[in-house]
Amino acid sequence: MIKFRCSHCQQKIGAPDDYAGKRVRCSKCRQPIRVPSPQQAPPGERARVIKFRCPSCSQKIGVSEKYAGKRVRCLKCRQPMTVPSFEQEAVRQPVKAPAAEADEMLAGPAWSEDLLSSAAAMEAAAPPEDTLRVAPADATADDVRSVKCPACSASNRSDTQFCTTCGETMPTMEAPAPAMSAAAKVPLAFGASVGFTLGGAIGWAIIASLVGLGWVNWMSLVVASLAGVGLTLFSDKRNAALGLLAGVIGLFGMVCGKVAIAKWAVLPAMERALEETDWQDMEPTEEHIAEGMKNPHSLFRAACFQLVDEGEFEDEFARKVMATHYDGRAPIGEAEQVMAAIKKVEARLKSWDEEQKREALRAQYVRDVKAMKNFGKAVIGAIAESTEQDANVGQGWRQTAREANELVTGQRSLAQTRIGFFFALIGTFRLLDLVFFPMGVWSAYKIGSGRE
């Protein structure tokens, strides 16, 4: 190895012995200089070369004998290794003439035969540390290409100034375009993850609106997994942090899917059910009639209110009659009238046959539904009125109460109210979601973190 300084910029340069007397170009200032002659050494004292292969990537490596037993790092795979001793080599390397030694790795420790560095990096022949890092600081295995010598067609690194075979000056090559930086990939990975999971959520909602909610709960797993798939498209190195991000995006996508299902599938179904229900002519089921026939209080109530419809009793008096019949305590001052009314109701019941009793129960069921609807309208109307007048109530609660009042009075449809959407959203959840949601988040985490 010939070591000298550039006569223009004083840059330290190292060159193989066979470059003595040749004109080279300084790697720092790019000025042409001539390599001086090496100092004469006794014939038998020239350093021998230990040639071996990297145990990690099988790259051929040649180093000086003085690095035997030391730790070096392969320029190709960057893995550390121990240089074997010259006696451990399978075949000893004979001392070659200078012309033949141009192909040897005399430029420094762990100098790969296929990755010979430029003249500026050759001076790293004796780093102070035991583990020798000989890769040039401005060139890595990813951004260095192979190029052929124009004189002898030998393969050389693109950052090599002189051909390692014939010594001719290599043509200057433009640096390869840098790959996309990791910082630039972050928004792309995040956008792809969110886009994939939202697309899956929309598809989930469309399928649910077509085939029914109960058939496609398992698609929450697909929606969450798409979050991990989108994140890994632009992520070369995956870890637990990316896995957690994929899990969060997957959970967000599943919730968005539920919202879309509530809006597109459940809420329209609730609206159709309300439109098809005739609250005025609503009939009880046979189960309701059978239960009423077995309950004496239900039959007494139906007979009492039938007398109210016929004008025999007033509504308020009929309630006192029913209360006395239930607990046996008549109101003070009206005991005689109430007991007489009870006897009249019981006489009416005894005069009915089975079919008349059933008809009376049906009529009472319709009365109860109508009364409940009127009561609900009154309550909701009172709430809406009180919220409008209460300055401490927020605008959101006022709007909700106003919409509910307009819903029960027929001025607004269920789909146009917040409370309708709230109940529709609750209706999208099933017990199986307690299994599918954790499984979906875990699937997104595993894909995002790159673990099997």
Whether residue 223 has pLDDT greater than 90:
yes
Q: Report whether pLDDT(444) > 90.
A: yes
pLDDT exceeds 80 at position 357:
yes
**What is the C-alpha to C-alpha distance for residues 324 and 343, in angstroms, rounded to an integer?**
12
Instruction: Report residue 30 as tokens.
Output: 């790019």
Per-residue model confidence as pLDDT tens digits over 107-122: 333 333 333 333 333 3
Over residues 74-84, the pLDDT tens digits come to: 878 888 888 88
Q: Which residues pair with 13 in a beta bridge?
A: 4
* pLDDT given at position 437: 94
For all residues of the chain together, what is the average pLDDT? 76
Which of 264-278, 355-369, 412-426 has the least mean pLDDT? Answer: 264-278
| Residue 62 CB-density burial (10 A; 0-12 exposed, 13-18 middle, 19+ buried) | buried
Average pLDDT of 217-238?
87
pLDDT recorded at residue 246: 93
For residue 250, the model assigns a pLDDT of 95
pLDDT over 70, % of the chain: 75
Domain spans of the chain?
Answer: 2-40+49-157, 196-452
Residue 145 binned pLDDT confidence (cut-offs 50, 70, 90) = low
For residue 48, the model assigns a pLDDT of 66
162-178: pLDDT as tens digits: 666 666 666 654 444 45
pTM exceeding 0.75: no
DSSP one-letter string for 328-362: S-PPTT-HHHHHHHHHHHHHHHHH--HHHHHHHHH
Is the pLDDT assigned to residue 44 strictly greater than 70? no
- The dihedral sign for the CA sequence 58, 62, 64, 65: positive
The answer on pLDDT for 281 being more than 60 is: no
Pair 48, 86: CB distance under 8 Å: yes
Query: Distance between CA 338 and CA 340 in Å, rounded?
Result: 5
Query: What pLDDT does 179 receive?
Result: 52
